[in-house]
Structure 1
Amino acid sequence: MTDRMDDDAAFVAAVTRAAGTSFYRGMTVLPARRRTAMYGIYAFCRAVDDIADEEAPLETKRAGLDIWRQRIDRLSEGGDDPVTRVLRDASLRYALRQADFHAVIDGMAMDAGAPIIAPDAAFLDLYCDRVASAVGRLAIRVFGEVSPDGDLVAYHLGRALQLTNILRDVGEDAARGRIYLPREALVAAAVPLDPALIVASPGLPHAMGRIGTEASGHYAEAEAAMARCAPGAVRPARMMGAAYRPLLEGMRRRGFRDPTRRPRLPAWRKALLAAQLLMFTDRRA
């Protein structure tokens, strides 16, 4: 059994490492079991995201996502591959909730069909909850915070991060035939609901500014909730906020002009974040 657990841990670590993101290195500072749990969550998210993004008929994508729903429902039976076995162990050890795994799958289903173009605010909020906050609810429990305030951190920070991503990627999304900015903000600023026309619209900075204000409010609410949580458990969340909030503030300072210019963190801030990560030494098993 121990050998299989080691093999499963190695598998999800390899999946995470192969993705080529900073997530793999960032999680290396966690204790082994928590690290493996986070790699398992990443491998799960990557698997369902790949289904949503693949070039395939919608029914094929839905069938693939339904298979994952069934696999999540069967976690109590022990799991049938390295990812589900790791998720089962993590669910038992850190009280992860099936509803949050299902929410992630449902978020991928929202992206799997026709391109999202100017959704209403309620649809966008649900999308942010499923593709971002749900992952946060899983992660913060692995980090050790199972209180309602931990859920509030995930609620607000997930929305803040996702809205920041949407604002950062307006130009790229428009080129792909997508608009994730909410319909209400666009209509109020007289922005056409057409990916081919949105970037050149003089009202776009105003619409983006409205969403930027909403994102800033979520960052502030997340910080307030973090203050009521165990400091070590929310340190990764603080670091995520520290990485993304400057991107939002930079766009706000520029008045959201030139949406095709994708903001990036300066080298000095990346170095500071790396140093903070290395200082994250919570070694609870």
Structure 2
Amino acid sequence: MSTTETHTQATEEAPKPQAHAIATALAGGARPARPSALSTSVTFGWRALLKIKHVPEQLFDVTLFPVMMTLIFTYLFGGAIAGSTQDYIAYLAPGILVQSVLFITMYTGATLREDIDKGVFDRFRSLPIWRPSALVGMLLGDAVRYTIAATVTGIVCWFVGWRPEGGIVGVLMGVLTLLIFAFGLTWLWTFLALLLRSQRAVMGVSMMILMPLVFGSNIFADPSTMPGWLQGWISVNPVAHLVDAVRAFMDGGSAAGEMVWVIGWSAALVAVFGTLTMWKYRDPR
């Protein structure tokens, strides 16, 4: 009898472990407690911040972009629209702050698409955690980036000559309003990241959606100087309502009416695109 046949026969005759013994061995230790939705969301938010630490180039869009946009539009249109940059920055600053942050939100979808292409989110879906925590945590981490962009823009506007009449409280309320709307809008980009097949497609479609919302608004000029059809669009444009609310807070006025619109639009974006995102996240086919 050959050595191979002897080994095969010995293997077949060896007693197989019983199912009860295996179960007992696996259940020998205490099972760790299931993490809460908050803890897992915060963990994924910290992951998003650590990515910035290891790839600091990601901060270029929240530092250099707001500076360039503020300086270009202030000195390009200030003299033509308001007669001087000093007068124009008082009107432009709240709007350019909104524009800077909203353009940055697009990168959330692009980053998510990159993670999907690398297979990272396939691993997240297999973890025994609250299912939306990977997405919610990513948005929480991006909220830090939006805050940095708003801070940089505000500092640049201050050096140009902006002095908000609402003071620090008005500025903080305006930034908080902007972050609420940005959180809702970001769910649109996450849905596009799950729906489209490439990072380039996500950026292209996002830009196509955001351009008419931002530039067809009251960020750069008073709508009363525009054609009637454009005024009609601005009256229903959610970005225009956002700019009115932020401007009212920073100018020391009342923003109660506009805040109803902002909160309503933000809730609608989360309800619609948050639901669609989770549906596509559960079934990526």
- TM-score over 0.5 (shorter chain): no
Q: Considering fraction of residues, name the structure with more helix.
A: 2
TM-score using structure 2 length: 0.31
Structure with higher RCO (Cα < 8 A, 6+ apart): 2
